[in-house]
Amino acid sequence: MWPNIPYSPWRDTCSALHLYTQVVGKYRLARTPWVNHSWHATLYVNARGLTTGLVPDRPGGVEIAFDLVGHQLTGVATDGRKASFPLGPTSVAAFHTRFLDLIVTLGGTPVIHGRPNEVPDPVPFAEDHEPRPYEAEAVTRFFQALVSVDRVLNRFRTGFMGKVSPVHLFWGSFDLAVTRFSGRTAPLHPGGVPALPDTVTREAYSHEVSSAGFWPGGAGVDEPMFYSYAYPAPPGFKSVKGQPDAARFDQILGEFLLPYEAVRRAADPDLMLMSFLESTYSAAADLGRWDRATLDCVTGVPRRPRPLERQDVLKH
């Protein structure tokens, strides 16, 4: 359930898959009304890979999914139409063309923003003719890792009564993430994220957050990594000793990091990852003076309603 996914052997395939998810994600972005913090644009883990969920479009709705087990991009429309094409070695330009053709076949609107975000020196999709590899086995292992990470992040998500994001994949930075909010507004973000409008970044960080997630490598970290950060980071945050012992605070990135490999090799990977998520959130919330008595709750378990605290009863 926690496969070995070293970054270097599939770096080029990972880069290609990242850009393909941007092409597909931009279709959802173009057709879906804006939701706070860009939640309307993300992808979600499903039983075979990643999906847009239902996107409003002319047939009534279109869903696009990356099948990372059978290695196909599939599309279905609410009027019954289906289309797909295989995932394999190609170029971003060729993938872009095939994807837009697939949308036409489904009766959808083949108009998207044509340039990548959050990558250095972005090349427009239609002009990126560089041959890209596709290591199918590595892609499937990455998907299997996402399934395990998604499970733990969703369990962590249940322990919070305040505003909290879905567990979703941001195709700009190519990370699976979940974010908790204190309920207070945040200082204006300085922006400066590569190839991303500052207006988008500032809206994403309009309120205080404690955010955690996972990415497969890249951006100066050449191994799969879990992360946790706070915006704004409260005084003393970077000096906290996070759990487990393998966790560390990265001064350059400004966030706590925990190697995926340390989790994978642990006797109880889920427990180790939960300790990282809980300890770094606690540091952000305690130092940031969040109202934890109101915001926190017990972690959810199947078939058991959350127990009411005395203050919940008094409110009703």
User: Quick check: 312 pLDDT over 80?
Assistant: no
Greatest CA separation for the chain: 63
Which residue in the block uniquely carries the two structure tokens 């919940």?
312
pLDDT digits (tens, 9 = 90+) for 264-292: 999 999 999 999 999 999 999 999 999 99
CB atoms < 10 A from the CB of 305, how many? 7
**pLDDT tens-digit profile of 243-252?**
999 999 999 9
- Coil, strand, or helix at residue 57? coil
pLDDT tens-digit map of 158-171: 999 999 999 999 99
Q: Which residues pair with 226 in a beta bridge?
A: 214, 258
Confidence of residue 172 (pLDDT cuts 50, 70, 90): very high
Q: How wide is the angle at C-alpha 165 spanned by C-alphas 196 and 74, nearest 5°? A: 70
Beta bridge partners of 11: none
191 to 34, 188, 196, 269: CA distances (angstroms) = 19, 9, 9, 35
Q: Is the pTM of this model over 0.85?
A: yes
Paired tokens of 8? 């270097």
Q: What are phi and psi of 299, to 5 degrees?
A: -65, 135
What separation, in Å, do the N-terminal and C-terminal C-alpha atoms of the chain show?
43
Question: How far apart are the C-alpha atoms of 236 and 79, rounded to whole Å?
Answer: 55
Q: Residue 310: is its pLDDT beyond 80? A: no
DSSP, collapsed to helix, strand or coil, labels residue 226 as strand
pLDDT range class, residue 219, cuts 50, 70, 90: confident
CA angle 18, 19, 23 (to 5 degrees): 120
Q: Which residue, 139, 140, 93, 152, is CA-closest to 271?
A: 152
Strand order in the sheet with 82-86: 44-45, 49-55, 62-67, 72-77, 82-86
Q: What is the average pLDDT across 19-42?
A: 97
Query: Which amino acid is residue 87, in one-letter code?
Result: L
Provide the mean pLDDT of the chain.
Answer: 96
Token digits of residue 275: 């300790």
Q: What percent of the chain shows pLDDT beyond 90?
A: 94
